Structure 1
Amino acid sequence: MSLHNTHKVVAIGGGHGLGRVLAALKDFGNHATGIVTTTDNGGSTGRIRHCQGGIAWGDMRNCLNQLITEPCISSMMFEYRFKGAGELNGHNLGNLILTALDNLSVRPLDAINLIRNMLGVEVNLLPMAEHPSDLAGLSTTGKWVTGETNIDDMQEPLLRLDLDPEVPATREAIHAINHANTIILGPGSFLTSVMPPLLLPELANAIAANTRATVIFIENLSPEFGPAKLMTLQQKLEWCERSFHARPIDVVIGEHAHPELEDRWNCVTRDLASLNRRWRHDRSKLQQAIEEHMQP
């Protein structure tokens, strides 16, 4: 049997980065699972959370958009963004649909599965948590800042990140990690996409416990903003490993060599950029680089 039919892979993160990874893993079908960050508080998502409460849907919608297999009226509706004056301006219809289905469902995961079936998305998508929570960051000046958008706007380094309030991880996410052969972190905004799921103790503990899985960290192709811009790759890797109790990251994949890190990490250099947008990962190149490091 092929790797795609036997290998279970879990990718963790949010936004555009996780969407690109999941698009690269499409051939794995329901053997691939995305665990999606749910702490966004900006844009359309933030406005909905302010009015309706609930988890943040923006990162989930972004992943769904990148996994749509065939353009159709359903996918066009899901991706539609309102323009003009008034309350609807800037809102994404996909966010509103997910919010409505969440209100009609027992669990947020039920709403996600309804949309997956409607859009023909085979890859599993799981929210990191099904209870609302925000990021809180402590700066080197001793100041606490709450909310993803406020953290992104900070100009000084961060000492730590927390979730406020603390919430339980989605049980299906823990199950997926427990049975994964490969676990992927990144690419994406390190502090606001990659790190939030790792702040959930049960999720981080599951990564630490699954010693048979290969853990892969994928670098970004363009510089970040805010406090993440002030972090070195070594600091990012150490933050990840600290969250899952020093369980090592097995492979680091990026476009640039890191000889200064090779005594601690297996750093692999690959061309990953899309030909027409150098800041975006090419799906085929990403798939090949990931599959190279999957244990049969």
Structure 2
Amino acid sequence: MSVYKTNKVVAIGGGHGLGRMLAALKDFGSNATGIVTTTDNGGSTGRIRHCQGGIAWGDTRNCINQLITEPSISSMMFEYRFKGAGELDGHNLGNLMLTALDNLSVRPLEAIQLIRSMLKVDVNIVPMSEHPSDLAALSVDGRWVTGETSVDEMEEDLLRLDLSPEVPATKEGVLAIEQADCIVLGPGSFLTSIMPPLLLPEIGKAIANNQKAKLVFIENLSPEFGPAGRMTLEQKLEWCERSCQARKIDIVLGDEPHPGLAERWNCVTTELASPNRDWRHDRSKLQSAIETLLSN
């Protein structure tokens, strides 16, 4: 029987990284679930949150965009970005559509399902929480900074990350983790895409309790900037494991060997870069890597 029919895979993160990962899991259909970060406060998403409130929709929209397989008027609408000199300049219509559904008191998850149905996207997409929250970071000099964009620009190293306010995880996301055969963290911006969902206690606990699943960390192909860029891979793995109640990461997947980490983690080296853009993961190479992990 096909690996796609017998295994459930959950990928956690945000932005372009999670979109690439979910595109690689497309053949799993409804057996694949993306748990998406909802703390972004920059760009079109940040402007909408500032005047309308609600969760950040940008990362969810990005994931849906990368899963659209049939170009249509609907998909062109969803991806449309306004230009010009007025208030709409820079806004993405997909963000506005999701915000409108949210304002109509449709559950954020149901809003996503409505859009998925319209665009014929099979992979499940679940916001990490249906309640608005921001990323907050404590620097080594004792200063708290709030907001993803501010955290990314910090010149000091970080002691800890929190969500402000504390919010509950989406129950469907927790259930998907509990039933998963493979849980993937990354690729993506470490502090602002991968970590926020792990800061929800229910998600960390669900990962810790699912001992049958393979917990996989996928490295980025190009260096990050800001405080995440100053963190070593060892620190990032430790942060993830601490958030998951000391649950061990089973496999670290990257394109470079890490002999210094071999005693603590199973680091698997494999070619993952897109042939024409070496900073971006290739969908088919990611798909093949996940298939191999599930087959072993």
1:163-216: CA deviations, max 9, x gaps? 000000000001000000000000000000000000000010000000000000
- Residue 55 of structure 1 aligns with which residue? 55
- The correspondence of residues 75-86 of structure 1 with structure 2, limited to 5 A, is 75-86=75-86
1:182 aligns with 2:144: no
User: What are structure 1's unaligned runs of at least 5 residues?
Assistant: none
Asked if 1 retains the 8 angstrom alpha-carbon contact of 2:214 and 2:250, the reply is: yes
Asked if 2 retains the 8 angstrom alpha-carbon contact of 1:221 and 1:255, the reply is: yes
Asked if 2 retains the 8 angstrom alpha-carbon contact of 1:102 and 1:110, the reply is: no
Whole-Å separation in 2 of the counterparts to 1:233 and 1:253: 11
> Size of the alignment, in residue pairs?
296
Whole-Å separation in 1 of the counterparts to 2:156 and 2:279: 25
- Residue 98 of structure 2 aligns with which residue? 98
Is the partner of 1:293 in helix, strand or coil? helix
- Residue 233 of structure 2 aligns with which residue? 233
- The correspondence of residues 266-285 of structure 1 with structure 2, limited to 5 A, is 266-285=266-285
Counterpart of 2:128, as a letter, is: M
- The correspondence of residues 131-210 of structure 1 with structure 2, limited to 5 A, is 131-210=131-210
- Residue 291 of structure 2 aligns with which residue? 291
1:234-292: CA deviations, max 9, x gaps? 00000000001111000000010000000000001111001111110000001111111
Asked if 2 retains the 8 angstrom alpha-carbon contact of 1:105 and 1:111, the reply is: no
Whole-Å separation in 2 of the counterparts to 1:289 and 1:7: 14
Whole-Å separation in 1 of the counterparts to 2:3 and 2:272: 21
1:70 aligns with 2:70: yes
1:116 aligns with 2:133: no
1:2-56: CA deviations, max 9, x gaps? 1101100000000000000000000000000000000000000000000100000
Whole-Å separation in 1 of the counterparts to 2:84 and 2:110: 32
Whole-Å separation in 1 of the counterparts to 2:254 and 2:290: 11
Is the partner of 2:12 in helix, strand or coil? strand
Superposition deviation, residue 225 in structure 1: 1.1
Whole-Å separation in 1 of the counterparts to 2:114 and 2:106: 12
Whole-Å separation in 1 of the counterparts to 2:8 and 2:208: 17
- Give the superposed CA RMSD: 0.8
Instruction: Output the TM-score relative to the length of structure 1.
Output: 0.99
Counterpart of 1:123, as a letter, is: V
Counterpart of 1:11, as a letter, is: A
How many percent identity over aligned positions?
A: 75
- Residue 4 of structure 1 aligns with which residue? 4
Asked if 2 retains the 8 angstrom alpha-carbon contact of 1:181 and 1:295, the reply is: no
Superposition deviation, residue 89 in structure 1: 0.5
User: What are structure 2's unaligned runs of at least 5 residues?
Assistant: none
Counterpart of 1:130, as a letter, is: E
Is the partner of 1:294 in helix, strand or coil? helix
Superposition deviation, residue 128 in structure 1: 0.1
Whole-Å separation in 2 of the counterparts to 1:142 and 1:230: 18
Is the partner of 1:86 in helix, strand or coil? coil
Counterpart of 1:195, as a letter, is: M
Whole-Å separation in 1 of the counterparts to 2:122 and 2:287: 17
Counterpart of 2:107, as a letter, is: R
